[in-house]
Amino acid sequence: MEFFERFAVPHPSPAIYASMVAIGLTVIAIIAGLTYFKKWGYLWREWLTTVDHKRIAIMYLISALLMLFRGGADAILMRAQLAVPDNKMLDAQHYNEIFTTHGVVMIMFMAMPFVFAFMNYLIPLQIGARDVAFPRLNAISFWLFFAGAMLFNISFVVGGSPDAGWTSYFPLAGNDFSTSVGTNYYMIALQISGLGTLMTGINMITTIFKMRAPGMTLMKMPMFTWSSLIANVIIVFAFPVLTVALAMGTMDRLFGTNFFTTSNGGMDMLWANLFWVWGHPEVYILILPAFGLYSEIIATFSGRNLYGYKSMVASMVLISLLSFLVWTHHFFTMGQGALTNSIFSITTMAIAVPTGVKIFNWLFTLWKGKIRFTVPMLYSLGFIPLFTVGGVTGVMLAMSAADYQYHNTMFLVAHFHNTIIPGVVFAMLAGFTYYWPKMFGFMLNEKIGKWTFWMLTVGFVLAFFPMYISGLDGQARRMYTYSEAAGFSMLNMLSFVGAAVMAFGFVLIVYNIYYSVRYSPRNIGANPWNARSLEWATHTPVPEYNFAITPNVASSEALRDVKNGHDLFPGKYEKIHMPNNSGLPFIMGVIFFVWGFSFVFAMWIPLIIATIGIFACMGYRSAEKDHGRYISVKEIEDTETKLRGA
């Protein structure tokens, strides 16, 4: 029995036992459902083994939505705990675990896969390619992300969740203060999904540089592809830092090294430093693709070209460089001198300039445009003022002298939610609504969508604006309760109400999907929004080869050119070379999960076996002869006729 005691949750509560039962029942229901409807073969052939960028994108999307609800449940629990003073609903330990997992899940397992979903789906379509440069690697990226996400998510029922904050600062995250396996989960799960992210970065950069359709020069790429290119460049330069930091942290916790300890020459502050060397560029990895989506949506629904294409690109290039020069602003109060803080204050304020350029470009795109207030456009229009408030409070925080007042308070929490929710989450929901017809062949209901938008916006303002005030009044972040005398009660109750309204908004999204699956008309054509760029030029649903004839592109608004008489698809059908499906990425994901789980619990024999398994998979791939397959002209003709008729 002693062996199994390590898997017990160190701080059990009825809620955790209820979750265990719920997880068990869900797994049984899924297995029973798949067996009953005889869908195992379908699942394996069409999804688990797929290398198609569009299907991988949809799997990223589903994972992101699932994780949104997991992280959202954490958020509601936190707000409920803080809604009234001296609340006994959660104890301190449970609260620590919840704010830690909320942060990690939302950033790493919700926002990142959401961004990757759009990158995967849109980049090949926007540049007129058949797939990404390395389709097999793309599948491995997804399954590594998924293995990491699942490993992180089982932590709260097996062995205990991490509880040292999403930043996991040492020495708190070291063995002395975090005795459960929770922080091991953090280190290993992020390591596995981080590997997947790095591979995606390399894959997307190669795709964009090497696989653009004829005529599409770099300065004729749609804006989302540009923003993704920059984001992926940042990924490739920033993620290795996280990889190294996590490896050092893992060694400190499991092998007794002294990188981040407070004794034996260790330097605990080095973790904070390395974490934010990665962490700040990470912010831009999330926000740049979001900016790209807004650029596409605002141009479409204003009926105009995007204003200032070149300045958009230039500002993003500048942001990519500046994002590596500001990391110290996350720990102004750590004890470094005034000179350092001044340097990083100035670089931080400088980054507001290119961001401001982009805001003005969107405003000028709207200027004199014929604006259509659709759901994606509402999110974009809501984003501009709300994100600007977040940006302005960011400049406030950037003043290092003033930061001594703001740091570690709810003011900071309000600020970064104010940038991430209108910036990233609204963009993802806007993109989700905008590209839904391209992905699934029908529109989401506009009326329910508008209700969702207003619920989320009103809920967001109610939930986070009070935090600015309570933060300036001195409410510290990550405190699990406060006394009535502190005077935060009213503001926190308001936040809870806002969070509840947002929760209703997210439930409405699910209802909208259900409603639209049942009632939405299916005959919407290839370009239901009257959009302007290349991804809308192919059929809906998109055939697996994307474009029957490789497009010949004349500008960043390829579809607009067609209306002006440009011949986008010159030539005739030729046979198309496509990659074969493979089960190897999924199997590697499973082995990595076992590897990570063994590592978390320091079970060395399964760890060694899993390591051998990983290398065996790579060896198999090296020796494998897989030259892909061809889609014949006959098949293309049949598909095209069918899709055109529909």
Interacting residue ranges for another protein, rule: CB under 8 A: 209, 233, 237, 241, 267, 269-270, 273-274, 277, 321, 324-325, 327-328, 334-337, 339-340, 343
Q: How many whole angstroms separate alpha carbon 327 and alpha carbon 284?
A: 12
Q: How many whole angstroms separate alpha carbon 22 and alpha carbon 37?
A: 22
- 476 bridge partner residues: 409
Residue with tokens 């989450």: 425
CB of 372 to another protein, least distance (A): 39
Nearer to another protein, 336 or 520 (CB): 336
Taking the CB of residue 43, how many other CB atoms lie within 10 A of it? Answer: 11
CB of 237 to another protein, least distance (A): 5
Nearer to another protein, 327 or 460 (CB): 327
Taking a C-beta distance cutoff of 8 angstroms, is the pair 298, 362 a contact? yes
Q: Which SS3 state, helix, strand or coil, does residue 196 take? A: helix
Q: What are phi and psi of 420, to 5 degrees?
A: -75, -40
Q: How many whole angstroms separate alpha carbon 104 and alpha carbon 194?
A: 12
Residue with tokens 């259509």: 372
Structure tokens at 640: 């095209």
CB of 320 to another protein, least distance (A): 9
Q: How many whole angstroms separate alpha carbon 528 and alpha carbon 524?
A: 6
Nearer to another protein, 145 or 332 (CB): 332
Taking a C-beta distance cutoff of 8 angstroms, is the pair 200, 536 a contact? no
Q: How many whole angstroms separate alpha carbon 612 and alpha carbon 602?
A: 17
Q: How many whole angstroms separate alpha carbon 405 and alpha carbon 135?
A: 49
CB of 169 to another protein, least distance (A): 15
Nearer to another protein, 397 or 456 (CB): 397
Instruction: Characterize the bridge pairing of strands 629-631 and 576-578.
Output: antiparallel
CB of 624 to another protein, least distance (A): 26
Q: How many whole angstroms separate alpha carbon 325 and alpha carbon 344?
A: 7
Alpha carbon 334 to chain centroid, angstroms:
29
Nearer to another protein, 281 or 471 (CB): 281
CB of 555 to another protein, least distance (A): 22
CB of 267 to another protein, least distance (A): 7
Largest CA distance in the chain: 78
CB of 318 to another protein, least distance (A): 13
Taking a C-beta distance cutoff of 8 angstroms, is the pair 504, 457 a contact? no
Nearer to another protein, 15 or 205 (CB): 205
Nearer to another protein, 47 or 324 (CB): 324
Nearer to another protein, 217 or 340 (CB): 340
Nearer to another protein, 237 or 364 (CB): 237
CB of 220 to another protein, least distance (A): 17
